[in-house]
Protein backbone atom coordinates (compact mmCIF):
# COMPACT_ATOMS: atom_id res chain seq x y z
CA UNK A 1 0.00 0.00 0.00
CA UNK A 2 1.10 3.54 -0.68
CA UNK A 3 0.65 5.99 2.14
CA UNK A 4 0.27 9.73 1.85
CA UNK A 5 3.67 10.18 3.51
CA UNK A 6 5.56 8.27 0.84
CA UNK A 7 7.22 10.55 -1.67
CA UNK A 8 7.81 7.99 -4.41
CA UNK A 9 5.15 7.24 -6.96
CA UNK A 10 3.16 4.03 -6.58
CA UNK A 11 3.50 1.46 -9.38
CA UNK A 12 0.46 2.81 -11.25
CA UNK A 13 0.05 2.65 -14.99
CA UNK A 14 -2.61 3.92 -17.34
CA UNK A 15 -3.57 2.05 -20.50
CA UNK A 16 -6.28 2.41 -23.11
CA UNK A 17 -9.00 -0.20 -22.73
CA UNK A 18 -10.49 -2.37 -25.46
CA UNK A 19 -13.56 -4.63 -25.54
CA UNK A 20 -11.27 -7.44 -24.31
CA UNK A 21 -11.04 -5.62 -20.96
CA UNK A 22 -14.79 -5.76 -20.25
CA UNK A 23 -14.58 -8.30 -17.42
CA UNK A 24 -11.83 -6.38 -15.57
CA UNK A 25 -13.71 -3.10 -16.00
CA UNK A 26 -16.95 -4.72 -14.82
CA UNK A 27 -15.12 -5.88 -11.66
CA UNK A 28 -14.09 -2.25 -11.00
CA UNK A 29 -17.72 -1.19 -11.50
CA UNK A 30 -19.00 -3.90 -9.13
CA UNK A 31 -16.44 -2.81 -6.52
CA UNK A 32 -17.79 0.74 -6.94
CA UNK A 33 -21.51 -0.03 -6.60
CA UNK A 34 -22.00 2.79 -4.06
CA UNK A 35 -20.81 5.30 -6.66
CA UNK A 36 -23.34 4.06 -9.22
CA UNK A 37 -26.17 4.06 -6.68
CA UNK A 38 -25.29 7.61 -5.63
CA UNK A 39 -24.99 8.80 -9.23
CA UNK A 40 -27.95 7.10 -10.91
CA UNK A 41 -29.89 5.46 -8.09
CA UNK A 42 -29.07 1.94 -9.27
CA UNK A 43 -26.10 -0.44 -9.08
CA UNK A 44 -24.09 -1.00 -12.26
CA UNK A 45 -25.82 -3.11 -14.87
CA UNK A 46 -24.09 -6.49 -15.37
CA UNK A 47 -23.28 -5.48 -18.96
CA UNK A 48 -22.31 -1.86 -18.13
CA UNK A 49 -18.60 -2.30 -18.91
CA UNK A 50 -19.27 -3.86 -22.32
CA UNK A 51 -21.74 -1.09 -23.16
CA UNK A 52 -19.32 1.65 -22.04
CA UNK A 53 -16.43 0.16 -24.01
CA UNK A 54 -18.61 -0.13 -27.13
CA UNK A 55 -19.80 3.48 -26.72
CA UNK A 56 -16.24 4.75 -26.29
CA UNK A 57 -15.10 2.80 -29.35
CA UNK A 58 -17.88 4.32 -31.45
CA UNK A 59 -17.17 7.91 -30.33
CA UNK A 60 -14.15 9.44 -32.06
CA UNK A 61 -11.83 10.99 -29.52
CA UNK A 62 -13.33 9.19 -26.52
CA UNK A 63 -11.20 6.76 -24.55
CA UNK A 64 -11.64 4.62 -21.47
CA UNK A 65 -8.27 4.34 -19.75
CA UNK A 66 -7.64 1.67 -17.16
CA UNK A 67 -5.79 2.51 -13.96
CA UNK A 68 -3.67 -0.46 -12.94
CA UNK A 69 -1.72 -1.14 -9.77
CA UNK A 70 0.65 -4.11 -9.75
CA UNK A 71 -0.94 -5.23 -13.08
CA UNK A 72 -4.48 -5.32 -11.61
CA UNK A 73 -7.10 -2.87 -12.87
CA UNK A 74 -8.27 -0.76 -9.94
CA UNK A 75 -9.98 2.10 -11.75
CA UNK A 76 -10.92 3.86 -14.95
CA UNK A 77 -10.73 7.32 -16.50
CA UNK A 78 -13.29 8.27 -19.14
CA UNK A 79 -11.95 11.06 -21.34
CA UNK A 80 -12.58 12.89 -24.60
CA UNK A 81 -9.77 14.48 -26.57
CA UNK A 82 -10.56 17.81 -28.27
CA UNK A 83 -13.62 18.47 -26.07
CA UNK A 84 -15.15 20.95 -25.45
CA UNK A 85 -12.65 22.83 -27.65
CA UNK A 86 -9.94 21.59 -30.02
CA UNK A 87 -7.16 22.04 -27.44
CA UNK A 88 -9.15 20.75 -24.44
CA UNK A 89 -9.59 17.35 -22.87
CA UNK A 90 -12.79 16.53 -21.00
CA UNK A 91 -12.71 14.05 -18.16
CA UNK A 92 -16.10 12.41 -17.74
CA UNK A 93 -15.11 10.21 -14.83
CA UNK A 94 -12.23 9.14 -12.64
CA UNK A 95 -13.34 6.07 -10.72
CA UNK A 96 -11.32 3.94 -8.33
CA UNK A 97 -12.67 0.72 -6.85
CA UNK A 98 -13.66 1.32 -3.22
CA UNK A 99 -10.69 -0.45 -1.57
CA UNK A 100 -8.26 1.88 -3.40
CA UNK A 101 -9.85 5.23 -2.57
CA UNK A 102 -8.41 7.77 -0.15
CA UNK A 103 -4.82 6.57 -0.72
CA UNK A 104 -3.76 9.34 -3.16
CA UNK A 105 -3.93 6.85 -6.06
CA UNK A 106 -6.46 9.03 -7.89
CA UNK A 107 -4.09 11.98 -7.58
CA UNK A 108 -1.23 9.90 -8.99
CA UNK A 109 -3.41 8.68 -11.88
CA UNK A 110 -4.44 12.27 -12.67
CA UNK A 111 -0.78 13.38 -12.60
CA UNK A 112 0.19 10.60 -15.00
CA UNK A 113 -2.68 11.52 -17.33
CA UNK A 114 -1.85 15.24 -17.26
CA UNK A 115 1.85 14.56 -17.89
CA UNK A 116 0.98 12.41 -20.92
CA UNK A 117 -1.45 15.03 -22.25
CA UNK A 118 1.17 17.78 -21.86
CA UNK A 119 3.93 15.76 -23.46
CA UNK A 120 2.21 13.81 -26.24
CA UNK A 121 -0.89 15.75 -27.30
CA UNK A 122 -1.61 19.34 -28.36
CA UNK A 123 -3.97 19.68 -25.38
CA UNK A 124 -3.72 22.89 -23.38
CA UNK A 125 -6.40 22.37 -20.73
CA UNK A 126 -8.46 19.74 -18.92
CA UNK A 127 -12.15 20.31 -18.18
CA UNK A 128 -14.34 18.31 -15.79
CA UNK A 129 -18.00 18.67 -14.78
CA UNK A 130 -18.45 17.68 -11.14
CA UNK A 131 -21.85 17.06 -9.51
CA UNK A 132 -22.74 20.07 -7.36
CA UNK A 133 -23.62 17.82 -4.41
CA UNK A 134 -20.35 15.83 -4.64
CA UNK A 135 -18.12 17.89 -2.37
CA UNK A 136 -15.48 15.14 -2.18
CA UNK A 137 -15.00 15.23 -5.98
CA UNK A 138 -14.85 19.03 -5.93
CA UNK A 139 -12.22 18.91 -3.17
CA UNK A 140 -10.22 16.30 -5.10
CA UNK A 141 -10.02 18.48 -8.20
CA UNK A 142 -9.37 21.69 -6.21
CA UNK A 143 -6.48 19.94 -4.42
CA UNK A 144 -5.09 19.00 -7.84
CA UNK A 145 -5.04 22.55 -9.18
CA UNK A 146 -8.45 22.79 -10.86
CA UNK A 147 -10.59 25.89 -10.50
CA UNK A 148 -14.30 26.52 -10.95
CA UNK A 149 -15.14 28.25 -14.23
CA UNK A 150 -18.51 29.59 -13.10
CA UNK A 151 -20.28 27.46 -15.72
CA UNK A 152 -22.80 24.79 -14.79
CA UNK A 153 -25.21 22.47 -16.53
CA UNK A 154 -28.04 20.13 -15.66
CA UNK A 155 -27.81 16.51 -16.78
CA UNK A 156 -30.10 13.54 -16.46
CA UNK A 157 -28.75 11.00 -13.96
CA UNK A 158 -31.08 8.06 -13.54
CA UNK A 159 -34.56 9.49 -13.12
CA UNK A 160 -33.48 12.92 -11.83
CA UNK A 161 -31.58 15.91 -13.11
CA UNK A 162 -28.36 16.90 -11.37
CA UNK A 163 -26.40 20.12 -11.55
CA UNK A 164 -22.77 19.82 -12.65
CA UNK A 165 -20.17 22.47 -11.97
CA UNK A 166 -17.42 22.94 -14.53
CA UNK A 167 -13.82 22.94 -13.35
CA UNK A 168 -10.73 23.66 -15.44
CA UNK A 169 -6.96 23.31 -15.31
CA UNK A 170 -4.42 24.65 -17.77
CA UNK A 171 -1.69 22.18 -18.68
CA UNK A 172 1.85 23.48 -18.45
Sheet holding 125-131, edge to edge: 12-16, 62-69, 72-81, 88-96, 125-131, 160-170, 147-157
For domain 12-170, which CATH number applies: 3.40.630.30, 3.40.190.80, 3.50.50.60, 3.40.50.720? 3.40.630.30
Of 32-36, 90-94, 108-112, 120-124, the range with the lowest mean pLDDT is 32-36
- Residue 130 has a pLDDT of 93
More confident residue, 162 or 171: 171
Q: Which of 86, 88, 89 is nearest to 63 (CA)?
A: 89
* End-to-end CA, the chain: 30
pLDDT at position 139 over 60: yes
The angle subtended at Cα 26 by Cα 83 and Cα 74, nearest 5°, is 75
How many Å apart are CA 162 and CA 40, to the nearest integer? Answer: 10
Confidence category of residue 158, pLDDT binned at 50, 70, 90: low
Name 159's bridge partners.
none
State residue 2's pLDDT score.
31
2: exposed, middle or buried (C-beta count within 10 Å: 0-12, 13-18, 19+)?
Answer: middle
Residue 32 has pLDDT above 90, yes or no: yes
Q: What is the mean pLDDT of residues 20-29?
A: 97
Whether residue 83 contacts residue 91, with contact meaning beta carbons closer than 8 Å, is answered with: no
pLDDT at 120: 93
Q: What was the pLDDT predicted at 157?
A: 66
Cβ atoms of 125 and 167 within 8 Å: the answer is no
Cβ pair 137, 96 in contact under 8 A: no
Mean pLDDT of the chain: 90
For 60, the 3-state DSSP assignment is coil
Q: What would the mean pLDDT of 64-80 be, rounded to a whole number?
A: 96
**pLDDT band of 35, cuts 50, 70, 90:** confident
Q: What pLDDT does 49 receive? A: 96
Amino acid sequence: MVSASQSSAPPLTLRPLSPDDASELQAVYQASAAFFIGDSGAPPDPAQASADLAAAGADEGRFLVGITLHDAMIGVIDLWLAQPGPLDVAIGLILLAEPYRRQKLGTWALRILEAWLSRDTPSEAVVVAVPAQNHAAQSFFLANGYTFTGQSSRVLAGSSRTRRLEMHKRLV
